[in-house]
Structure 1
């Protein structure tokens, strides 16, 4: 029986979420009993209509530093461009590892201590190469758990960290001083706590106290950093790691209570238990094997990204506005089908 677009997208979610090895477009087309072109369109709608869909592929879509808009502008002869992500060899994934949703915290001196150990690196190695190795050494794996799987949304190469930025943060912490920098061209003075690496977006952040609130600042938007004359001392009872554990990703915002039902299908329950094992939350197993998950979280968009990875096996019960936001995401994706002649 031919599935309508809504049911077919749910089917694709479930298939990809259940497959640890990923599936090709041809395999998805055969299972869904549709033409390959239909699945390609489904994936395009899911991938580009909303940035929260956690689609992955083992093929790079474009060359480094090149995005889709630039590619389309250069395609003046009207020929269809070759996109490796949509080739017969590409395997698609819809299960983001939770490790990629947890930012990793570092004290600046950890970078330099590890750099001294990496004597095999040539002197010409860039700071970014050294830092990538340092992250791997601390985390115990590469920046992505399943190489060569890559996140496919645009150009997400790591932003190169400036060695001066690391040095300023380190010296300020040692001297118990605040730091000043321009953030989005606005001068800011904060008390530095360390550096945070968020592997899902491959971004570095300065984590710091600003007017009594702990925040993180994307280093790409930081310039003219220097040590201030104002004193700063981190409270002894404060832990950056504990502060991060209450969050999904690096978002700001108020905390809110969630209640989610996960269906007992395709190893969903076991994966949820693994993903939230570090959190202080409530898990209730129903008589039919379904799982109720209740938690208080910060990070609405990243939480939705996680939920989308479970496809139709996850249902938002509370809050109502989060349920509405999920419905809006699905609606935006499906709206693309109205544009197809």
Structure 2
């Protein structure tokens, strides 16, 4: 070959090594004294569109070998071959796309020794040979030895698992490959039962750990702050999502046991509440008690007996109803009860919100259409939710807000003539399912409220008594259908009003604790 090609033997052997490194399956025929490539190792040429070729190469470029994804090395070699065959203008296009796209995946935690176990399992599963494994089990709390019939290898959540019948468990189990410490292929073989399917097997477990016993029908309620995050993920094949009026969801699922799903529920803390079965309620409560014991040195003694549930309360009503006074009094009372309180006003509180507030209330020379007003209020509220309200609730704080979405429905809907469903639809997008646990609606006749405002009226107050009357009517009509609204007679003495508000808050807390 060297003589025919006019090069040295060293060059020939170097080229052969380069071919092997590129994944070319070279074989040496000792009879014919020649190297050859088996026909079965290569597919017939095929045609790819430029878009198909670029998509394969971009994915291989951007994923990177550090992810540890299965078959990545072979895919990367194929992409390199494609890239080398591209015309220059397509290579430039590939460079431009790669420069503007970045894909981040969590790296696979697959130790080097697990690669050997993985390859042994691939061979054993393919030839239907049993294996004997020594396995470090986090559930049995020890290293176990078992004879395993490796039915299937499964790549899930950035790790390899083997599913098969275990002799020690006398059942089909799932084993994580990187926890296999030793593995030996046995001579005896196995047959996969005809009724075994991976999908059917995993359907009976929350993720990877089937448990003995009858199936469990589970219902968990997630509050509005986390409801969207839970609902947008397919956690389990049997799951059903039911949205509630307050933005919470009831999550239904059927699994074979409660142990593993309990860990998932606990991850949502006080934002998740098990509605059924009682056995899961008891298990979660037991976990919670043990968690509290672990941190007993750091938790105030008052919290060891009674936890303080955060609340989101909005105050509304026509101008002059006394919202600020009552909000301040309620703040003092809640702090005495152990709540950490965050105050905000809508629009306002954030930098963007305060600028919108100034535009809406103090720029009297502006003739704003009701639709413009509504959209400005909504924009300020979106910023308020993301910057103040949602983070405060997530950190366990109680939020008291001067006005919220109900105000737009009353002011721009009922009083200004905008379509109520349009206002509600925009509001739904704006608040992103963050709705008050309770709205305190201070009801005061407009002929009593208007004189309280004095002479220095803002844009909304300056619209007059008739406008204020329509706003009040809107509030009262909406209170009949709006969830969790407490209508308080604001013609009473300040102390009497405050007592009624505290009673409404206490009742709502009891209701939420059920």
Give the structure with higher Rg (CA): 2
What TM-score results when the alignment is normalised by the length of structure 2? Answer: 0.33
What TM-score results when the alignment is normalised by the length of structure 1? Answer: 0.48
Greater relative contact order (CA < 8 Å, ≥ 6 in sequence): 1
